[in-house]
Structure 1
Amino acid sequence: MDFVAGAIGGVCGVAVGYPLDTVKVRIQTEAKYTGIWHCVGDTYRRERVWGFYRGLSLPVCTVSLVSSVSFGTYRHCLEHICRLRYGSADAKPAKADITLSGCASGLVRVFLTSPTEVAKVRLQTQTQQRRLSASWSSPAHPMCPVPPAPVCPAPGPKYHGPLHCLTTVAREEGLWGLYKGSSALLLRDGHSFATYFLSYAILCEWLTPAGHSRPDVLGVLVAGGCAGVLAWAVATPMDVIKSRLQADGQGQQRYRGLLHCMVTSVREEGPRVLFKGLALNCCRAFPVNMVVFVTYEAVLRLTRGLLT
């Protein structure tokens, strides 16, 4: 049932947090934005509300599988560790057991999420790339006498949807193009999910009333929200690099790999570039993971009640 509960919780989390995720990706990949509100205002002015939901359909279709794998892998890995170390799957795990299981869940999900992350980032950023290309094609000097040229319509979007984006990337860049940034994604999700599940377990233990085995709904909300914030706090540097590597295929390729992207970004924009979107990630993580964990726990309790 952990797989089912994780799937339902993941879908609810995406519904809450996707608009801020779009803003986060654009801040990380476009140097022209000076802050969150600048990006929000520019996106709304140019694309209205729909601009915040670019690329949503694919995450919604796949997040149930990804979240299911994450929570299911964590729980089953933890049970196997407890069985090996303590002789019972129901034994209380140590902090190291939780950390190892959380890390395993983060690493496993990378193989499922990398293609969808590539499509999501390309769709979220292709409007800016199109405007940049248009500005490069403009005349060098407006006063230079040039023969009139026929007026051409503005180029349409390169990607017409998530599936079209995936097939286009695979055709133009090969199957490896679907896994651009996967090294950064591995580094991001491994330690961030270890932090995620460990902090949730510790906070739940602190917030559990005396005489009870689990926290109440308010305790789950607080623990889930704080766990999400802490996880994104440690994940943001690699998230920036991951987004830049995945957006890199829309024009002339700038980065040769993870280290080159990191060194180039820091050299051009300073060390602060690795924390672009940190405040937004943390603001988004709290309500999203409140919803994820309270839904996850509610589904588990409901199914346990029906099965007993």
Structure 2
Amino acid sequence: MEFWPEFLANSWGREFVAGGFGGIAGVIAGYPLDTLRIRQQHSSGKGSSSSAFQILRRLVSTDGPCALYRGMAAPLASVTFQNAIAFQTYAILSRAVDRSATSDNPPSYTGVALGGIGTGAIQSLLLSPVELVKIRLQLQTKTNQSNSHKGPLDVTRSILRTEGWRGIYRGLSITVLRDAPAHGVYFWTYEYIREQLHPGCRKNGHEKFRTMLLAGGLAGVASWICCYPLDVIKTRIQGQTDSRYCGIVDCFRRSVREEGYNVLWRGLGTAVARAFIVNGAIFTAYETALRCIFSSDDAGIQTETVL
């Protein structure tokens, strides 16, 4: 019973728990839009550029509203740990890069960007298998019952049986290429915009909820725009079940040759809308949880002092 108080008394423990709350908020807020994005990206052929609204209407009419949340158990089950590790890793790396950073002096913007790049590369090891399972479930339809899976565990067992452990990490390289620079842009944009909207908040942490929402939302939008073509390629590689693509370069060449360069930006509008909602929720939940933990620690310290 003494583990949690001691864990939360450590700054790493606080970042871990607060990051978990942020991740849960992000998944719940943006999962339906993520399903639409995946379906837009994976559709192939010249006449397959359906709008998000058309896909939404068709999906709900054939599979029902619950289809928008298909596969959510996989990221939701792991997102607490994944996001907690991401925020904790970012806190450690950004301060390790910038030795002048202290508890009262936040890391420089260079430290923030480099810490974000390292965080993106490290978390890809966990994120890649989770997104593979999620994408396979999101692309299922009721009209294709022959290859349908009951849930994340069923998908995982099927991949291991047919493709082995190597299949579980299909798309790892493109995930690293996407996430490393995207996380650098992500954290840098958040820290920069929150400071511009509320000067001094990086040190005192007194920004308002609308500052967290706006800075987090814009950080998400910026990170998605800079890496979106890579995300389209990743979706196609991880969504294939017939080894259609031989690798990243082959997937890029074939997609562009068959569907034009516009395919690399297919679903961007849906992704940007989702990114603003999700990341606004993530940073708001993260900062709020962090403050609650700090305030509870301060209250505990005061109580012990009085006693």
TM-score bracket for the superposition, by shorter chain length:
0.7 to 0.9
Corresponding position: 1:269 with 2:285: no
Residue deviations 1:220-241, cap 9 Å, x none?
1110111111111112111101
Deviation at 1:126, TM superposition (A): 2.4
1:192/1:103 Cα in 2 relative to 1: closer, same or farther (>3 Å)? same
What is the match of residue 243 of structure 1? 235
Alignment map for 1:168-179 (pairs within 5 Å) = 168-179=158-169
Equivalent residue number for residue 302 of structure 2: none
Following superposition of structure 1 onto structure 2, how do residues 95-244 of structure 1 map, counting pairs within 5 Å? 95-127=109-141, 131=144, 155-209=145-199, 213-214=204-205, 215-244=207-236
Partner of 1:192: helix, strand, or coil? helix
Q: Is the 8 A contact 2:170 2:238 kept in 1?
A: yes
1:87 to partner: Cα distance: 7.2
Partner Cα separation in structure 2 for residue 125 and residue 289 of structure 1: 24
| Residue 23 of structure 2 corresponds to residue 7 of structure 1 | no
Q: Residue 302 in 1 paired to residue 292 in 2?
A: yes
Is this contact kept in 2: 1:120–1:162, CA < 8 A?
A: yes
Secondary structure of the residue aligned to 1:232 is helix
* SS, match of residue 18 in structure 1: helix
Deviation at 1:81, TM superposition (A): 2.2
1:207 to 1:11, Cα distance in 2 relative to 1, 3 A:
same
* CA apart distance, 1:276: 1.1
Ranges in structure 1 where 5+ consecutive residues have no aligned partner: 132-154
Q: In structure 2, how many angstroms separate the alpha carbons of the residues matched to 1:87 and 1:288? A: 29
Q: Deviations over 1:42-67 (max 9, x none)?
A: 11111110111111111110011110
- Structure 1 counterpart of 2:171, which letter? G
How many residue pairs get aligned? The number is: 280
- Aligned-pair CA distance for 1:88: 4.3
Q: TM-score, normalised by structure 2?
A: 0.87
For the residues of structure 2 that align with 1:210 and 1:176, how far apart are their CA atoms? 48
More off after superposition, 228-237 vs 194-203: 228-237
Contact 1:236–1:277 under 8 Å retained in 2: no
1:284 aligns with 2:274: yes
Taking the aligned partners of 1:99 and 1:239, their CA distance within structure 2 comes to 20
Match of 1:55 among 71, 89, 93: 71
Distance in 2, Cα, partners of 1:166 & 1:209 = 47
The match for 2:84 is: 68
Any idea what SS the aligned residue of 2:50 has? Answer: coil
Q: Deviations over 1:19-77 (max 9, x none)?
A: 11011000100133421111111111111101111111111100111101111100011
The whole-number CA distance in structure 2 between the counterparts of 1:43 and 1:4 is 36
CA distance in 2, matches of 1:158, 1:216: 46
Aligned letter for 2:122? Answer: V
Mapped contact 2:71–2:152 kept (Cα < 8 A): yes
- Name the % identity: 35
Whether contact under 8 Å (2:95, 2:111) holds in the other structure is no
